[in-house]
Amino acid sequence: AAPAGPAFEAASIACGMRAADGAIEVVQVTDEGIKLGVIGDTTPVGICGSGLVDAVYVLHKAKLIDDSGRFVTDEVALEIAPHLASRLLTREAGDRIFVLHWDGEEPTVYLSQRDVRELQFAKASIATGWRLLLEEVGLVDDDVQQVLLAGSFGSYLSPASAIGIGLVPKLPVMRIVSAGNVAGEGAKMVLLSSTERSGATTLLDEVDYVELSDRPDFNDKFFLELALPS
C-alpha cells in the first residue's frame, strides 16, 4: 500500500465529485478544443478521478502543463495551443485554472493548479511504491507482464492516461488491464470453496512484506516521481 491520499477519489479537488451523473469521466483534446465524456450524458457539474487523470494527461501532452506540473503562461499557451488558450485563466487571487465547462461566461468545472499538484503527489506515491518493489526483486519496467487496475476507479481509468502521467510502468497499453472488484470476487471464492481458502493460505506464505516508508531512498525517489514524464 502507498499513501496516495484522496485525489483519485477527487475528494481534494476543487470541482471534484464521485463518479455519478454529471461527473466528467473522460477528457480529450481535439483540433476544435476539448471533448468531454460525462456520466449520464448530462451537463457537467464536476470531475471524478478518471477525468482528473485524463485532464492532466491530455493538457501535459498538449504542453499546457509543463513537466513540473505548472500551467504555462498565457503567451506560451497562445503560441502552442491557440484553440485552448482562452480556457487558461488567472483568477483574482492569482490562482491559475483551466476551464473544462462554462455556464455562459462563468467557468463551472475547471482544473486548478492545486488540483494538478494533488494528482502529482498521489501518483508519485504509487509510482514510488511499485518502482521500489521492482528494485527489490531486481526487475525493470518492461519485465512486468501485466498491471491489473482493481476497483471501480481502475475500471474507468484510461490505461493510456495512467501510463502518460507515470502512475503505472511505461508498458504497451494492452498490458494494463481493468480487473474489476477483485476483492469482492476473492471474498466470494474463499467463502464458497475450501480449495480456494487453502490456496489463499499457501499464497500468504509466499508473500514477502516490504516496508517502503522506512527505506532511506523513499523520499528521494518520491521527489523524482513528482514530475510528469516527458
Q: Give residue 127's pLDDT.
A: 96
Residues 107 and 153 in one domain: no
Give counts: helices (H), strands (E), the chain. Answer: 8, 8
Cβ atoms of 170 and 144 within 8 Å: the answer is no
If asked whether residues 110 and 135 sit together in one domain, one would say: no
Instruction: Among 115, 138, 161, give the residue marking a domain's end.
Output: 115
Asked, for residue 161, whether it belongs to a domain, the answer is: yes
Rounded Cα distance between 97 and 53, Å, is: 16
* pLDDT given at position 170: 96
| Residue 57 in domain | yes
Q: Which domain holds residue 175?
A: 125-225
Instruction: Answer yes or no: do 107 and 16 share one domain.
Output: yes
Answer yes or no: is 219 within a domain.
Answer: yes
pLDDT at 11 over 90: no
Query: Structural domain tally of the chain?
Result: 2
Q: Which of 115, 149, 176 is the last residue of a domain?
A: 115
Spatial distance between the Cα atoms of 144 and 163, rounded to a whole number of angstroms: 13
- pLDDT exceeds cutoff 80 at 77: yes
Evaluate if residue 209 carries a pLDDT over 90: no
pLDDT tens by residue, 94-139:
899 999 999 998 999 999 999 999 999 999 999 999 999 999 999 9
Q: How far apart are CA 128 and CA 168, in angstroms?
A: 10
